Structure 1
Amino acid sequence: MADSKVRTQRPLSPHLQIFRLYLTMLMSILHRITGGALYFGTVILVVWLVAAATGRSGFEQVQWFLGSIVGRLILFGYTWALIHHMIGGVRHLVWDVGLGFGPEARENMARLNIIGSVVLTILIWVVAYAVR
């Protein structure tokens, strides 16, 4: 009969003191979060479209909310999530082709994803206000 008191060596989880969050790990997490945020942003878009189809009063209420500071912050966040998720998708497409797997290339693409999404979001909003 086997000795039941023998302990097996199991790997230990990394402790918070030695755990290091890499930029590519953060980008993976952000890609998932922005995907979820796009779901809720699309619900807001559908509410806006349904309000436009149902009549003037409902549409004006939705327009009032989206025109408020809170509504604009939500729309700004939705725009950033959309752009960030799109650029992340392009990054994954580059990987699907078999390019950009080196450590330096991965880090550079992650930085470009963050910088590009912020710059494009601001540019979209600047152009939107200029055309308005």
Structure 2
Amino acid sequence: MKDVRDAQYVAHRSDGTIVRRPMSPHLQVYRPQLTSVLSILNRASGVAISAGTLLLVWWLVAAASGPKPFRTVQHVIANPIGLLVLFGWTLALAYHFFAGIRHLVWDSGHGFSLPATHRSGWLTVAATMVATLLVWAIGLSLWLGA
């Protein structure tokens, strides 16, 4: 009786002889690398931006609907969890923006060497942190100062 898993390991050459092919290493074999982590974060930030945009739409609809719905949304957003969600959305927007610039540089044919990818990766992370903290510092100073 043939093992059903053989389909994953066995192949046939053009002359019909059987060849045993090695399986690809599993995820546990790989160590996270900067480039792979940033690639995954770029996709995750795109999803977070989409989710955060729903919050923005809710806020805009409430603003157009009158003072009571707007007050409700403002109350939800102004609590600690709401502020954390807004901070995460800001972080995702900043990261996706800077990662997009990094990809545009790659599209121009530059920055493909390993040292350049590491440099641009860490620059993307640093720019994300600086931009997010700057936006929040300005936003909070305006909010609390008003």
Higher strand share: 2
Q: Is 1:45 matched up with 2:59?
A: no
Q: Which has the higher contact order (CA 8 A, sep 6+)?
A: 1
Q: How many residues align?
A: 128
* C-alpha distance in 2 between matches for 1:122 and 1:11: 48
Alignment of 1:68-107 (within 5 A): 68-107=79-118
Gap runs ≥5 in structure 2: 1-11
Partner of 2:29, secondary structure, is coil
Question: Unaligned stretches of 5+ in structure 1?
Answer: none
Post-superposition Cα deviations, 1:89-120, rounded to whole Å, max 9, x if no partner, equal 00000001111000000011111111211121
Q: Percentage identity across aligned positions?
A: 43
Residue 54, structure 1, aligned to residue 69, structure 2: no
For 2:24, which of 6, 13, 38 is the aligned residue?
Answer: 13
Greater gyration radius: 2
* Offset, 1:16: 4.9
SS at match of 1:8: strand
- For residues 81 and 68 of structure 2, the distance between their equivalents in structure 1, rounded to whole angstroms, comes to 20
CA distance in 1, matches of 2:80, 2:31: 37
> What root-mean-square deviation, in Å, do the aligned CA atoms of Structure 1 and Structure 2 show?
1.6
Shift in Å, 1:56: 0.7
Q: CA deviation at 1:18?
A: 3.2
**DSSP-derived class of the 1:99 partner:** coil
- TM-score scaled by length of structure 1: 0.91
Residue 19 of structure 2 aligns to a residue in which SS? coil
